[in-house]
Amino acid sequence: VDIKNAGLKLTAPRIKILQILGESAVEHLSAEEIYTRLKLDKADFSLATIYRVLAQFEAVGLVMRHNFGEGGSVFELNNGEHHDHLVCIECGQVEEFVDEMIEKKQQHIAQEKGFKMTSHSLYIFGICPKCQAKS
Ligand SMILES: [Zn+2]
Ligand SMILES: [Zn+2]
């Protein structure tokens, strides 16, 4: 993931936000979470700046935007490897997976309908093992 290769100038907010996304143990962050982390890091950018930078990153393919239900958009670095997501509706935990069969099947369906597939996203919503154990 490289800002310059993506055709964007290096600016402090861009560098910082990319760093936060890269360092985060949680791979999917909302703009608000990035804002909070930047503050802890003594980098005080406005939420509007963060939204703008994330939109720019998304436009050039540096990050992917997801909508896991309630909380609004979350962002993750685009490392070029496609994956799908399992989302816990109790605690919000997100797990990633890739299944060759599902990938192929989707290609098939698109082809059958005469579609040229450009992308897809698949979210499985449910309750994670931890939350199941709690109830
Ligand atoms: Zn859970
Ligand atoms: Zn992901």
Listing DSSP states for 46-96 in one string gives: -HHHHHHHHHHHHHTTSEEEEE-STT-EEEEE--S---EEEEETTT--EEE
Is 65 a residue whose pLDDT tops 80?
A: yes
Question: What's the average model confidence in pLDDT over 16-36?
Answer: 90
> Is the whole model's pTM more than 0.75, yes or no?
yes
113 Cα to the center of ligand 1, angstroms: 36
123 Cα to the center of ligand 2, angstroms: 10
Ligand nearest to the CA of 88: 1
Q: Does residue 117 come out as left (phi exceeding 0), alpha (psi in the -120 to 50 range) or beta?
A: beta
Yes or no: say if 110 and 103 are a contact pair by the CB < 8 Å rule: no
Q: What percent of the chain is modeled with pLDDT above 70?
A: 99
Strand partners, 76: 64
In angstroms, how far is CA 68 from the centroid of its own chain? 10
Question: What's the average model confidence in pLDDT over 102-131?
Answer: 94
